[in-house]
Amino acid sequence: MASILVTELPGLTGYPEGLSLQRRLMTLRQENRIPDVLLLLEHLPVLTLGKNADDSHILFSPEVLAAQGIDIYHTERGGNVTYHGPGQIVGYPIIHLRENSLGVKEYVALLEQLFLDLLAREYGLVAYRDPEHRGVWIGNDKITAIGVAVKRWVTMHGFAFNV
Euclidean distance between CA atoms 9 and 39, whole angstroms: 7
| Domain annotation covers residue 153 | yes
Q: What is the pLDDT of residues 37-73, one digit of tens each?
A: 999 999 999 999 999 888 888 999 989 999 999 999 9
Q: What is the pLDDT of residues 79-120, one digit of tens each?
A: 899 999 999 999 999 999 999 999 999 999 999 999 999 999
Q: What is the pLDDT of residue 1?
A: 57
Alpha-carbon distances, residue 152 vs 40, 50, 52, 91 (angstroms): 23, 19, 21, 20
| Domain annotation covers residue 116 | no
| Domain annotation covers residue 133 | no
How many structural domains comprise the chain?
1
- Residues of the domain holding 30: 5-102+144-162
| Domain annotation covers residue 78 | yes
Q: What is the pLDDT of residues 122-138, one digit of tens each?
A: 999 999 999 889 999 99
| Domain annotation covers residue 111 | no
Q: What is the pLDDT of residue 163?
A: 85
Q: Which amino acid does the sequence have at 83? A: Y
pTM for the model stands at 0.93
| Domain annotation covers residue 60 | yes
- CATH code of the domain in which 76 resides: 3.30.930.10
Euclidean distance between CA atoms 89 and 76, whole angstroms: 20
pLDDT band at 2 (very low <50, low <70, confident <90, very high): low
Give CA angle at 133 (23, 98), nearest 5°.
40
| Domain annotation covers residue 54 | yes
